[in-house]
Amino acid sequence: MSDESEQSLDDLTGPEVIRDFVKRLPGKPGVYRMFNAEGDAIYVGKARNLKNRVSNYARGQGHNNRIALMISLTTNMEFVTTATEAEALLLEANLIKKLKPRFNVILRDDKSFPYILIAKDHEVAQLVKHRGARARKGSYYGPFASAGAVNQSLNTLQKAFLLRSCNDSVYANRTRPCLLYQIKRCSAPCVNYIALPAYNELVREAESFLDGKSQTVKAELATAMEAASEALDFEQAARLRDRIQAMSFVTQTQGINPQNTDEADVFGLAQEGGQACVQVFFFRSGQNWGTRAYFPRADKSMEASEILGSFVSQFYDDKPIPKLVLLSHEIEDLDLLAEALSTHASHKVEVLVPQRGEKRALVEHAVTNAREASGRKIAESSSQAKLLAGVAEAFGLAEAPRRIEIYDNSHISGSNPVGGMVVAGPEGLMKSQYRKFNIRSEDLTGGDDFGMMREMLTRRFSRLLKEEGQRMQDSETSTWPDLLLIDGGQGQLSAVRGVLADLGLGDMPVVGVAKGPDRDAGREHFFVSGKPSFMLAARDPVLYYIQRLRDEAHRFAIGSHRARRTKAIGVSPLDEIAGIGPLRKKALLQSFGSAKAVSRASVGDLASVEGVSSALAQAIYDHFHEGSG
């Protein structure tokens, strides 16, 4: 990349601004950004020739309504020249994902893809689910469309290949095989029930299977099964039969498996009810590793080809790229996209819109799934809209909220205090927007829930004011809430209202949700400033909705607290329990295999461990079940 230029013209708007920039633009490839009066990027585009491309906007006529509005709002532009148009396409995708401009197609993607990993940083390989950077030594397989798809495959792969899934610490401390051995999902290398060469043969078979050579592996096992049967070793023959059946289950549950498409991502787009849905199928080693539906933000006037082209270029900004990409619609600059993806992946990538044969069948299958997912989304959105309208009516809001923030905190006698914020809107829970707050105030007394809430809200809204300025309720990208739900009664409500008033946000709608007598669900009291507390009808759908939101906030806060508590103690949750020293800790781990298993044990099982008295067993049990009552 070369130079970047920036200019602003305070007295000009729309076509006049653009015409002024055109005078100084080079005829080179690059990326341009349009900004509105508030300094927000409203559009990012790429061009083979910046001067020619931007000149089209300067005409001021012949544009559709969306482009005309975009031009009229433009008060400033920025430009970056690049060496090639393919480089410009990659930069454009990166900037769109970062800036989320109003007039671009926006890929809503907040989840990384899970993989199956056969880790080899230990002499006894481990079969695990993996997300994130590929820092561990081993073989990676995927991507899988979801954690559920990985978990299902892992369960059946354990049955088929009997590879260990425990971590190295648990493996090193085993003195007897764990439950997975008992249910025939592990060969127990930890206690030498299988020799290392034989275990490595299982690893080889698993890798061959995941590489797409399932028929070869099953044929080898079938031959071994027949040999065992002829030798009258019926127990071994039965074990091999079970493994073959498990492998068959994996391939059967993957649904459609192409015969001639070894590695590809398939994109099918459907437009229904003013929204676009892109269904993506992942094929690796000739096997279907699942599908995921995306709902990109795009103007209703945009053509399917424009949406799909922008979606795919953004999709691969941070994901591995296969050798083949199949699309349901012809897009502009298909060859350019293939060139850009090849550059990004450092290997040749082919982008096709198949017209016949197996590949066309795969694309049509993706489009059918996209259409069905879109229909489900429309139905769910309709139901969600009714709930939000009910929330507005119940709490006296002028209109249905687009963003609800729910706050809760968690601690044990003031230790490791954590606050949690969950977010809900027209599309349900917005998990990418969840936030946790490690409470930092050192002057809080143990269990000061009011003080924790004050700190959490002060940090949240001070930062929001700094990053976004005052509330802009008509902004599509704003993260200002329309309603706050607080776990607590009048006291918590007063504390929150005080924080908001100090920040100049006294008009923010806030509702306190106090649990009913004996913490009974359905008997909650609601607190709103300026009116007495009230209850909702026992069967009111809005009441159930608020309960779900409150429970989600509680779950998130407790989970964050436990994670912080475990991290704080360094090695094991057992270190936090009074009366457990190194010897008792070792005895517990040897008996149960892990701290997690200890947490699930009964008082009687704990008391059976050498060195653990009945009183200590009860203390251990109470420690792990403090929230169960």
Going by the DSSP 8-state scheme, the letter that residue 431 receives in this structure is G
Residue 50 φ then ψ, to 5°: -60, -45
What angle do helix axes 234-253 and 147-161 make, rounded to 10 degrees? Answer: 160
Q: Decide: 382 and 426 in contact? Cβ < 8 Å.
A: no
Instruction: Identify any residues that bridge with 512 across adjacent strands, giving them in sequence order.
Output: 486, 527
Residue 282 φ then ψ, to 5°: -115, 120
Burial zone of 337 (CB within 10 Å; 0-12 exposed, 13-18 middle, 19+ buried): buried
Rounded distance between C-alpha atoms, residue 372 and residue 418, angstroms: 40
Q: How is 521-568 classified by DSSP, letter by letter?
A: TT--EEEETTS--B---TT-HHHHHHHHHHHHHHHHHHHHHHHHHHHH
Q: What is the pLDDT of residue 8?
A: 46
- Cβ atoms within 10 A of the Cβ of 595, count? 19
Q: 142, 100, 148: which is closest to 479 by C-alpha? A: 100
Rounded distance between C-alpha atoms, residue 202 and residue 208, angstroms: 10
For 121, how many CA atoms within 13 A lie in the half-sphere containing its CB? 9
Rounded distance between C-alpha atoms, residue 164 and residue 131, angstroms: 19
Rounded distance between C-alpha atoms, residue 92 and residue 97, angstroms: 9
Q: Decide: 477 and 100 in contact? Cβ < 8 Å.
A: yes
Q: 302: which residues sit within 8 A by CB, 6+ positions away?
A: 66, 105, 276
- Cβ atoms within 10 A of the Cβ of 384, count? 17
Q: Decide: 8 and 76 in contact? Cβ < 8 Å.
A: yes
Q: What is the pLDDT of residue 235?
A: 76
User: How far from each other are the two terminal CA atoms of the chain, in whole angstroms?
Assistant: 61
Tokens of 290: 């699942």
Tokens of 486: 């607080």
Domains detected in the chain? 4-99 (3.40.1440.10), 115-253 (no CATH), 264-375 (3.30.420.10), 404-562 (3.30.420.340), 569-624 (1.10.150.20)
Is the pTM for the entire model greater than 0.75?
Answer: no
Q: Decide: 576 and 565 in contact? Cβ < 8 Å.
A: yes
**Distances in whole angstroms, Cα of residue 209 to Cα of each of 42, 138, 244, 275:** 48, 16, 11, 39
Rounded distance between C-alpha atoms, residue 270 and residue 371, angstroms: 5
**Distances in whole angstroms, Cα of residue 284 to Cα of each of 141, 408, 624:** 8, 43, 42
**SS3 for 594?**
coil
Q: For tokens 């809005």, what's the residue? A: 542
Q: What is the pLDDT of residue 46?
A: 94
Q: 494: which residues sit within 8 A by CB, 6+ positions away?
A: none
Q: 11, 64, 66: which is closest to 37 by C-alpha? A: 11
What angle do helix axes 334-345 and 304-315 make, rounded to 10 degrees? Answer: 10
Q: What is the pLDDT of residue 324?
A: 94
Across the 629 residues of the chain, what is the mean pLDDT of every consecutive 10-residue run?
47 80 91 91 93 87 84 91 93 91 84 85 91 85 78 80 89 89 89 93 85 71 80 78 67 57 89 87 80 89 91 87 93 92 92 92 92 84 87 92 90 67 89 84 67 87 81 64 90 89 90 72 81 86 89 82 55 73 83 81 88 89 66
Rounded distance between C-alpha atoms, residue 139 and residue 620, angstroms: 39
Longest dimension (CA), the chain: 93
Burial zone of 232 (CB within 10 Å; 0-12 exposed, 13-18 middle, 19+ buried): exposed
Q: What is the pLDDT of residue 246?
A: 64
Q: For tokens 């946000």, what's the residue? A: 505
Q: For tokens 């601004």, what's the residue? A: 17
Q: 385, 359, 404, 347: which is closest to 546 by C-alpha? A: 404
> Which is it for strands 76-81 and 415-425: parallel, antiparallel or unpaired?
unpaired
- Cβ atoms within 10 A of the Cβ of 350, count? 13
> Which is it for strands 324-327 and 350-352: parallel, antiparallel or unpaired?
parallel
Q: 544: which residues sit within 8 A by CB, 6+ positions away?
A: none
Rounded distance between C-alpha atoms, residue 617 and residue 397, angstroms: 52
**SS3 for 64?**
coil
Q: What is the pLDDT of residue 516?
A: 65
**Residue 130 is inside which H or E element, if any?**
strand 126-130
Instruction: Identify any residues that bridge with 127 across adjacent strands, giving them in sequence order.
Output: 118
Q: What angle do CA 274, 278, 279 make, to 5 degrees?
A: 135
